Amino acid sequence: MAWNAPFPGRLPSGPALERSVGAKTIRLCKNKDFLLAGQFCRCAYINHDGWLFRYKILHNGSRQIVDFVLPGQIFGIQAVLFRRALYSVATITETSLSAVAFDLLDDGLDRNPRLLKALLWSAACEGAMLGEHLIDAARRTAYERLSHLLLELFVWLRAVGLTEGGSFHMPLTQELIGDALGLTTVHVNRTLRALREDKLVGIEGKVVTIRDFEALALLSDFENSYLGDAVRAIRDELMASDDGEPSAGS
């Protein structure tokens, strides 16, 4: 399947690669700042099993979340290249990371093209997601943005095996969602209700269920070229498992 191929943000071969470059494992509590914007930085990090987010505080005090860092994603590449972190990073849930120290100026890296390629892949994928987030904020209505976000989360989590039928666990507050999409919590709330009433998604506590993938994808332009094949396969799978209303139906 498509998501076994070189997949966005996922190192081609985790443990082995880690050992070869001397990675260290870190455990983090939830709701903690981990990196601060401007901070000196010589490691990139692989997120194994938790949720984090990258953000920036503006002069007016508002916070923009640039993206969520889901299990299997890498972050901090830019920070190493630019010598300091461009964005702050904080945890949402507790999580374990692998820290990979590297230095582009160091010749050592020249002899590890696989790491280099993995970093390039990750950077490119991040760029692709940022591009979509930009379109979210610039051109889509709140309704469309929420749809897009939920699909993006779902597709990623599905790819790393963290979904159950059409459902997944989403440890986000409405405030986090709002800060990611450029909306207020108030409006996130209202819009989420609308999505629920329109039977496009289900939300019970922290569990989100995608009820109508097609409709959501259509209205939010979710073709996500960069996940294209994955998405197609997933949709098929969903349709199949949707007939018999999966056991996750609560």
Partner DNA sequence: CGCCTAATTGAACCCGGTCAACCTTAGTGG
Partner DNA sequence: CCACTAAGGTTGACCGGGTTCAATTAGGCG
The answer to the question of residue 137 lying near its own copies (CB under 8 A) is yes
Residue 33, amino acid? D
Partner whose footprint covers residue 205, from its own copies, DNA, none (CB < 5 to 8 Å by kind):
DNA
Nearest-approach distance from CB 204 to DNA, in angstroms: 10
> For residues 5 and 8, what is the distance between their CA atoms, to the nearest angstrom?
9
Partner whose footprint covers residue 128, from its own copies, DNA, none (CB < 5 to 8 Å by kind):
its own copies
Binds DNA by CB under 7 A, chosen from 36, 174, 212, 242: 174
> For residues 156 and 42, what is the distance between their CA atoms, to the nearest angstrom?
27
First-last CA distance in the chain? 29
Other residues' Cβ atoms within 10 Å of the Cβ of residue 114: 14
Give the x/- contact pattern for its own copies in 182-221, rule: CB under 8 A.
x-----------------------------------xx-x
**Residue with Cβ nearer DNA (4 or 60):** 60
Binds DNA by CB under 7 A, chosen from 78, 93, 185, 241: 185
Footprint of DNA on 49-88 (CB under 7 A): none
- Cβ-based neighbours of 9, under 8 Å, separated by 6 or more: 72, 73, 74, 121, 122, 125, 126
- Name the E strands within 59-117: 63-69, 74-75, 88-91, 95-101
Task: Point out which residues bind DNA (CB under 7 A).
Answer: 141-143, 173-175, 182-187, 189-193, 205
